[in-house]
Amino acid sequence: MNDGRQRIPEDSESRLERALRDGAPLMAAGPPQIADAAVSAGLLDVAYATLDSPVGTLMLACTKAGLACVAYLDPERGAEDVLARLAARLSPRILRAPRLLDEPRRELDEYFAGRRRSFDLPLDLGGLTPFTCRVLRAAAAIPYGEVATYAEVARVAGSPRGARAAGNALGSNPVPIVVPCHRVLHADGGLGGYTGGTSRKRALLAIEQGGTPG
């Protein structure tokens, strides 16, 4: 008898259960209905998808709480390192489920096209320290097209002498671009570091100045 609920095919169900038992990230790329069924069955904690962008391929991941990851993918290593970090930080119950990332992908596409200046996305910053969260909130408050210094971000985060610590916290930003750590520079105008490399930082700043990445 069909009760209207979506069923997980037996082989897929076994794979899901085995992945949960082994505690390893589940990297399924099968039909979308598998992800839908996993959600219905409560077997999915973290959904991920990829997005092609002017600054390279991005991997996005979300939980029920919100967007948890925007990562620059290494073309040679792929997503494995990112998935391992997500498993350690959030949960090993990870599945490729692009439809659950439709809204973040849409907003990022709009940003790269110059049609969006801020993001309307809930975030999941679970696993981060309180200081890192304060630094990220300070970075998120920097307006589109403007920049701030590491010292200014540290001051807003409540640590006026913590410019170096603020830089380290920004380096662990799990949602770059959405939380715009690329807008934070050295006091002398130098770019400073960036999780995606300085060329990407420069490209993002160029987009926000009305230019083109490159």
φ, ψ at 26 (rounded to 5°):
-95, 115
- Alpha-carbon span 85 to 91, nearest angstrom: 9
181 classed as catalytic: yes
* CA R_g for the chain: 19
3-state secondary structure of 95: strand
Q: Enumerate residues 6+ apart whose C-beta is below 8 A from 149.
A: 163, 184, 185, 186, 187
Q: Enumerate residues 6+ apart whose C-beta is below 8 A from 13.
A: none
Candidate list 62, 69, 133, 181, residue with the active-site label: 181
Residues labelled as active-site residues? 181
